[in-house]
Structure 1
């Protein structure tokens, strides 16, 4: 959470000018690389020359030696590098560039250990080596890819896709720069490229040209187009071609929409395994990648489809996403400002009175004792009353999720009554980050002076798990919300290391949660940024020639300045200071690694520890975690929410591409603070947003204490709009659950861009104002104020796709490649079902438990060729390793419906209805008016159980409960009519 950061200017000045091993030091005032007078490494540095070239049937290796005098522009040049290309499997290749001479006694460079972030591992079980051919300066590995290289004027290389000779990575006409604190490489891109990913950012899905994309985890209230909480150095590149009559591939300009042409697309992905601060610059026909250190470790996923790329990325590199418990797909309600258990109880009652579904109630930091983790305020959130509330909540089929922050309160050493058991236990095990001199690194967070768990210590995971287990014995929570895990700190440097009794946040933390006016004035009246701190830095260092200043050092051969590296990435914080809003880069881990080198995985490691800690709480249940700071692979343990957004239409709009990016990153459990966290929402915005978020996997409303309350029951229109959308969401919970099981087992996506599902239509490449949920449900939200309609495209119409309106279940009329105007008055969100799909549904209810215990229905939307298929996955909804599971396949034609179960899960709820959309039955042959004779496994069903509407082309088959007396899907069934 970001509510304030700029208190007490005098204190900030103290932090800024304090020069020692505890604080940032050695900075000089030098322009950022964006200054046109700054040195351009591409024109200054000599690059490298390749020698000792050799290859095997799966590798290409060379030694790279500096091709001239060292340039040392932003660090010390590495004289000799090892260059290795590995052909791992048919769709997978790696390029690694590392210093030849690795001296563990020299800390001037850093190579990421495998135990911190596992490298790409190929699945070679089914990989058969193909032939290797070699021409001058080119090697081709089978039918997959080839590498071409040159030494003129310096070492350059290209990777090509063999099938169409498309160049997927091309460093020609650029130089490699490899210094101890600065790495730069450039790849050429085609004109009108389509690049996605490289997060975390709040911007459109397809990346524009002339962007500077910074990857550095920071605590910030969601700006547009700046770095945020996570680091995901992965991108998807999709290229479109027109096939001419001879089968040649002709590159297609961006967003080409000629529906009469025959197009095809090829996608590939690139992952840069590096945990340093990074920048990626998008130019016209090239991309520049910069890092503040480490090595070059690139993995290439050859696809050729988006689906194959992202599946390979997850399966081979970052891991498959965690399977969620069934209840997590219900609605979540939170607010910073629920100041006692009584307020929480009233909240649940208000939802029940309004008959709005509510599954999960959350607490922000209100519940804590003086904002300290794993504690409850004894006055307003006491354990006794809490147990009563939670028993009632759980008996009603609902769940409770509290927040836990990354930092641990550091008690005042001069106050013997200021005891904090969590700190005492952690200190006994020596599990907190240190300063370079071995003393405790002490920052400032919500409770005041605070220390930070060191996830490199072998004892920290057990410490964290013990705190979760101990606290759970008092407060039976059902999941954990991890916040501030970038990690956030409100001061620059180890500000509490000298004056450990200086606790500048002690006064606000003692405000009782019930004193909401005081809290509102406190948080609402403060600076939401750390500019005050940065201004103090500028004053301490010297005058600036302009309002923009950059904190940076001069390169020193063989020495690293980690607090102020010579190159300044475009960090969103004031002065681009790497220590603003987070711990200083010189904070030191148990293994001697400094935070500078691994900052971007702090949150990743905390999520890992929380996952295994929750397994200590209950080893049988899947942990439910939503975290803020993430890195590539965090999806193995947790979901993510979009952070401290704003109550604006722009933030609602950007929530869709934000979610689609996390689909690419392998973190499908994604949502945003619906209706906005910061600022005041309004009735219209909240109405539209509640309906949009109903189709995100993680569905939560949450906002700040100094904003108006925004629970959906606050406005009658928002109540109605929410119930309309939630009725659909709760009906399709089995579909959500099945999509997540597929993601968990195969790496498929849940929220999908239209371009991924319809890969041969270049006109869809830039669309992210509408999206798909799985392959079958399309959402077209209203994303602007004071309109009663929305314009949208219906993909695949030219190729025979049929789309059905969810509400009236009839096929829509749309022209291929043309925007269709759709009526969307306030309270209505257009939803469409794709022809060829079968969707399993259950009855909507106020809780997931009640919805899950209702009868089944199946909706078959026939394609233009009169067929449809679908599936559902079932288990107990919570076990890490379910004892029994069930996979059910559905198939439909114009005259037949088949149910084929496989597995031993015993589903107790009966099948009640099957609805066939797009049916074309001959009415003249129907019995009893529009009644239709249906046979189940050769036996006649009563005529009244099947009704056909020839106007809407819908066949309703009802009263099927007698076919499944012991519950649905126990056996295969064939219906014919």
Structure 2
């Protein structure tokens, strides 16, 4: 929850002289007379990003490169010494000697590491922060012929190449391009084949393909989902899918540095502003193979609790605990399933972490609501911000904020270079930032979360603003925290003025009134802005000694803030950690390290339960601890569309438990958009509706048609909970994403590359959403020459043809959903909550392929234990007119099997048997409906092996 479009507008007005002195908090017990963070403290030094600067030096054209000497073979590869051929010192001073180490870590993984011989002032990313891939097997032996990767090099003008042995194709080559290795600028180039298919390099709002001309800035950023700009997460890995050879490989640069990647027609240029080159090549050869190989090394995804799959409701603007209670009651009134209710910063006492407002969210009423929720098997998740309020020591009431004093006494906050406390500004005013490199921070975190949970027994944590964000530039609170509490430097809570595409058509009368109001407001004259602190620079102190000029590095990245300053809306690069590490080197890790600390704090509260955390800023390996939501999107069709490639990007980055704010966060949604999005969101792993303060309410019960649409798709989701939970477990154990792109499922058909308007759920379901207004049909493709697809709603076999763009009926309230033949889906009768659903009878949905075969699986456990001691695995296999079901494991399922539905049966069976017993069935249009199986499975659906024959 960062800044809505309205708030962004307010910031612009504030910069132009409006509202800066009198922000309007809509839900705070702080009096309006309190001061505001001065506007001039929010303005960074205007940068000119190098990629936008035609006069910037092209390092590739100027650098002299290195020569390779002292090459020595090792049992696992080789080592060598790189000698600088001539210093150019373009963006920092060049290192004259580098060590090269090449290691075959496994049959499918190769590591190339290049680092200065003198590591003084060079940041080396420790294994304690980010998982370090290790050599597999005996470190002293390796059968090189078992690897499909071949490393070669040129010595005089150093460059290296990685080839695939089985196809002889060049996967990666820096030959012909000089290596640049300076203290503040590292660059290498690799060739790419023409017509390449590069994915990854998230997180950004972009299509799944990184087409020529794409520039990815890898710098965690608190900004509201700009298309193509850098946003919350950093995942320095790309996947290169080659359709001519039918292979895919991956390249991971294990670095936390500020990075930039430029994808051109036949090349990829990768830059970093610090650190060393630590590349890992994964050989695949299929996309799913590469994803699993990569995710296994960074950390397999967390197994989410079963209840995480239910529907979640939130908004910024539930002003009181009574508002929250009313929302919960309304969901029940309209019989819309509600698993979890969330609250944004409204619940806090003047926006301070670990607090609740004593008037709007009094503890007794708060606790009473949570008790009611828990008694109804529902859950509660509050937001949590990254910064800790610094109280005013001259105000006794304000100074009674224990979380700050406990942290300050333990000395666990970030510092300025001179050792003083680094104080930025976030929602409550001037704030300090926990240092997660400090060993004492975890103990502090445990204590604060435990105390908070004892008072407000939440069920999970939503962690926000952890890029890490600050509303001012630098340690602006130093010497000013005596003004606390201060308001944010922008207006908060103004009415949202944007509406979705087509709103003027579907809501013509309302739009006419709105347009008049907007026009009247727009006529107000606005004075021009002036600022003495926004002078433009390209670089400063290019050859600054040591680590260099870390606040204004000589190479300027295209950071998606108005002035591009690295410290704008972020903690300054020179903020210093306990061991001397500067934020410049590990800014991209702040959210990741915070999320790990929260994960451990929740384990301290409930050691045996899986922590549930949804985080905003992620890094390679974050999925091992948290799920992720797509950040501050907007209520428009473009953002609904981009949610799909964003899900693909997070999936291949090892963060499969992902969803976006359905119906949109910023701006106002409308009935049509919300109806479509509620249905699309119901198929994402994480399913939550959330919107901004100042916008209209968008709970699904606001519109009758949205209520019906939501209930339709929710019913399907809850019916398929066993299937989704099985996919969660598969992801947890293998690294495979839950939502899958067509080019992962059919990796040899280039025509499927870049399809971002459809997706698979697992291998079995195809979702084809409507992503534009005012239509009642949608086009989609259904790939595979020999594949069979069935309409989920009618169960009828479809006459789809491979390579044809099919037109599907999609009236408002209907989202096309198809089952891929050859798959068996476990189902369970839906209940109001996941707990109720788990008490209901099971069913099986058998979709036969063209040969009359199908297979599937089911995984179950208690749904919450961190260390599972009892689990159940069930295999389903169908063929030759018989379904066989076998189970193993010691987790007991008491619910019976109620029905089996078999799709794709060409003619009516003469009879159907469950084991040796004849059972009742119905046959319609190629589908066999078998019901009344409860009496044969009274001991539990899978207590014994059984067969169904027809």
- Taking structure 1 as the reference length, the TM-score comes to 0.89
Alignment of 1:741-752 (within 5 A): 741-752=729-740
1:693 to 678, 681, 688: 681
CA distance in 1, matches of 2:327, 2:628: 24
CA distance in 1, matches of 2:236, 2:256: 9
Name the residue aligned to 1:53: 71
Name the residue aligned to 1:62: 80
Name the residue aligned to 1:662: 650
1:654 Cα deviation from its structure 2 partner = 0.2
**Alpha-carbon distance change, 185 to 873 in structure 1, aligned in 2, over 3 angstroms:** same
Alignment of 1:585-734 (within 5 A): 585-734=573-722
CA distance in 1, matches of 2:465, 2:47: 30
1:853 Cα deviation from its structure 2 partner = 0.8
CA distance in 2, matches of 1:784, 1:808: 25
CA distance in 1, matches of 2:142, 2:63: 39
Once the two structures are superposed, what CA deviation does each residue of 1:298-335 show, in whole Å capped at 9, x if it has no partner? 101100011111111111x2110000000010000000
**Conserved? CA contact 1:90–1:127, under 8 Å:** no
**Conserved? CA contact 1:92–1:122, under 8 Å:** no
**Conserved? CA contact 1:551–1:577, under 8 Å:** no
1:406 Cα deviation from its structure 2 partner = 0.3
> Which shifted more, 34-43 or 473-482?
34-43
1:575 Cα deviation from its structure 2 partner = 2.2
1:146 has 2:150 as partner:
yes
Name the residue aligned to 2:277: 296
**Conserved? CA contact 1:769–1:780, under 8 Å:** yes
**Conserved? CA contact 1:550–1:575, under 8 Å:** no
1:940 to 899, 902, 917: 917
Name the residue aligned to 2:167: 164
CA distance in 2, matches of 1:723, 1:935: 33
Name the residue aligned to 2:550: 562
1:373 has 2:353 as partner:
yes
What's the secondary structure of 2:342's corresponding residue? strand
CA distance in 1, matches of 2:409, 2:705: 55
1:499 Cα deviation from its structure 2 partner = 2.4
CA distance in 1, matches of 2:937, 2:927: 23
Name the residue aligned to 1:15: 41
1:42 to 26, 44, 60: 60
What's the secondary structure of 1:53's corresponding residue? strand
Once the two structures are superposed, what CA deviation does each residue of 1:854-898 show, in whole Å capped at 9, x if it has no partner? 000000000001010100001100000122100000111242111
What's the secondary structure of 1:588's corresponding residue? coil
CA distance in 2, matches of 1:122, 1:913: 49
CA distance in 2, matches of 1:507, 1:585: 22
1:2 has 2:11 as partner:
no
Name the residue aligned to 1:138: none
**Conserved? CA contact 2:37–2:489, under 8 Å:** no
2:123 to 110, 131, 134: 110
**Conserved? CA contact 2:428–2:488, under 8 Å:** no
**Alpha-carbon distance change, 431 to 185 in structure 1, aligned in 2, over 3 angstroms:** same
1:690 Cα deviation from its structure 2 partner = 0.4
**Alpha-carbon distance change, 966 to 704 in structure 1, aligned in 2, over 3 angstroms:** same
1:102 Cα deviation from its structure 2 partner = 2.2
1:682 Cα deviation from its structure 2 partner = 0.9
RMSD of equivalent CA atoms: 2.2
1:521 has 2:494 as partner:
yes
1:539 to 519, 532, 540: 532
CA distance in 1, matches of 2:529, 2:629: 31
**Alpha-carbon distance change, 833 to 81 in structure 1, aligned in 2, over 3 angstroms:** same
Name the residue aligned to 1:246: none
1:175 has 2:178 as partner:
yes
**Conserved? CA contact 2:111–2:281, under 8 Å:** yes
Name the residue aligned to 2:198: 195
CA distance in 1, matches of 2:775, 2:766: 20
**Alpha-carbon distance change, 28 to 828 in structure 1, aligned in 2, over 3 angstroms:** closer
1:269 has 2:250 as partner:
yes
Name the residue aligned to 2:317: 337
CA distance in 2, matches of 1:901, 1:814: 35
1:859 has 2:849 as partner:
no
Name the residue aligned to 2:386: 406
CA distance in 1, matches of 2:403, 2:54: 51
What's the secondary structure of 1:756's corresponding residue? helix
1:521 Cα deviation from its structure 2 partner = 3.1
CA distance in 1, matches of 2:540, 2:560: 15
Name the residue aligned to 2:467: 486
What's the secondary structure of 1:417's corresponding residue? helix
CA distance in 2, matches of 1:676, 1:328: 20
CA distance in 2, matches of 1:559, 1:357: 55
CA distance in 1, matches of 2:312, 2:285: 38
**Alpha-carbon distance change, 16 to 710 in structure 1, aligned in 2, over 3 angstroms:** closer
CA distance in 1, matches of 2:317, 2:541: 43
**Conserved? CA contact 1:622–1:880, under 8 Å:** yes
- 4+ aligned runs moved over 6 Å, structure 1: 27-31, 125-128, 522-525
Name the residue aligned to 1:820: 806
Alignment of 1:830-869 (within 5 A): 830-869=816-855
**Conserved? CA contact 2:908–2:923, under 8 Å:** no
**Alpha-carbon distance change, 374 to 670 in structure 1, aligned in 2, over 3 angstroms:** same
What's the secondary structure of 1:643's corresponding residue? coil
2:132 to 119, 124, 130: 119
**Alpha-carbon distance change, 740 to 128 in structure 1, aligned in 2, over 3 angstroms:** farther
**Alpha-carbon distance change, 31 to 779 in structure 1, aligned in 2, over 3 angstroms:** closer
**Alpha-carbon distance change, 11 to 916 in structure 1, aligned in 2, over 3 angstroms:** closer
CA distance in 2, matches of 1:638, 1:888: 27
Aligned residues between the structures: 895
1:36 Cα deviation from its structure 2 partner = 1.8
1:382 Cα deviation from its structure 2 partner = 1.2
CA distance in 2, matches of 1:922, 1:832: 23
Name the residue aligned to 1:929: none
What's the secondary structure of 1:574's corresponding residue? coil
**Alpha-carbon distance change, 324 to 30 in structure 1, aligned in 2, over 3 angstroms:** closer
2:218 to 204, 215, 219: 215
CA distance in 2, matches of 1:339, 1:123: 54
1:29 Cα deviation from its structure 2 partner = 7.0
Alignment of 1:274-353 (within 5 A): 274-315=255-296, 317-353=297-333
Once the two structures are superposed, what CA deviation does each residue of 1:474-502 show, in whole Å capped at 9, x if it has no partner? 11111000000011100000001122213
CA distance in 2, matches of 1:507, 1:748: 42
Name the residue aligned to 1:801: 787
1:83 to 83, 90, 100: 100
**Alpha-carbon distance change, 865 to 122 in structure 1, aligned in 2, over 3 angstroms:** farther
**Conserved? CA contact 1:356–1:846, under 8 Å:** yes
What's the secondary structure of 1:575's corresponding residue? coil
- Taking structure 2 as the reference length, the TM-score comes to 0.91
Name the residue aligned to 1:98: 115
Unaligned stretches of 5+ residues in structure 1: 18-23, 132-140, 242-248, 250-264, 510-517, 526-531, 927-931
What's the secondary structure of 2:533's corresponding residue? helix
CA distance in 2, matches of 1:209, 1:100: 35
2:755 to 751, 764, 767: 767
**Conserved? CA contact 1:33–1:567, under 8 Å:** no
> Which shifted more, 496-505 or 468-477?
496-505
Alignment of 1:184-263 (within 5 A): 184-241=187-244
**Alpha-carbon distance change, 150 to 413 in structure 1, aligned in 2, over 3 angstroms:** same
Name the residue aligned to 1:129: 142
**Conserved? CA contact 1:334–1:364, under 8 Å:** yes
Alignment of 1:952-963 (within 5 A): 952-963=925-936
What's the secondary structure of 1:728's corresponding residue? helix
**Alpha-carbon distance change, 535 to 881 in structure 1, aligned in 2, over 3 angstroms:** farther
What's the secondary structure of 1:501's corresponding residue? helix
CA distance in 2, matches of 1:496, 1:329: 41
